[in-house]
Amino acid sequence: MAEYGRVFGMEVIAWSQNLTEDTAAAVGARRVEKSALFEQSDVVSIHLVLSDRTRGLVGETELALMKPAAFLINTSRGPIVDERALIAALQAGRIAGAGLDVFDIETAPVRPSVAAAAECDIVASPRLRHPGNAGPPSMPTPVEAVLAWLDGTPIRIANPEALG
């Protein structure tokens, strides 16, 4: 993901319990402490496996550290983020928005708690294509989709009426 961020001119910072400064630098990121990651980031994108160590890793404390204009993206596993704390932060306007394709209960197509947050700035997808995921070669990566949109030729439009 560091490479994707750099393509868009982002300064990439990273944190993990096991991440070293050298490992972060090798992919073009700067290692920071967990609190600094949430305080400094305009976009926090989560890329972790779900385990006892990562369940609930992002909760009320971490969300409170985020900038009001920041976005949280979770494409890893739902329970890494405390869903109730995220919805509360969104409804209170403490963060600008969230992009989710994973939920606490991943078998339900639309959860009531997520639906209740619909008036907030949240994008919920049943499953986005993960960059490391094997998928059909014809399926665009998120970067391809964004670049096409920036070029004025959006692809795979879910709601063409929104283009005006």
- For the stretch 39-86, pLDDT in tens is 999 999 999 999 999 999 999 999 999 999 999 999 888 899 999 999
Q: Which residue has the higher pLDDT, 163 or 110?
A: 163
- Decide if 100 contacts 124 (C-beta within 8 A): yes
User: Tens digits of per-residue pLDDT, 131-142?
Assistant: 444 445 555 566
Give the mean pLDDT of 26-37: 96
Check whether 2 has a pLDDT greater than 50.
Answer: yes
57: left (phi over 0), alpha (psi -120 to 50) or beta: alpha
* C-alpha–C-alpha distance, residues 42 and 45, integer Å: 10
Q: Which residues of the chain does CATH 3.40.50.720 include?
A: 42-125
* pLDDT for the residue numbered 8: 87
The fold adopted by the segment(s) 42-125 is: Rossmann fold (3.40.50)
* pLDDT for the residue numbered 5: 87
Cβ burial, residue 103 (10 Å; 0-12/13-18/19+): buried
- Decide if 122 contacts 100 (C-beta within 8 A): yes
Share of the chain above pLDDT 70, in %: 73
The whole-model pTM stands at 0.70
Average pLDDT taken over every residue of the chain? 81
* pLDDT for the residue numbered 29: 95
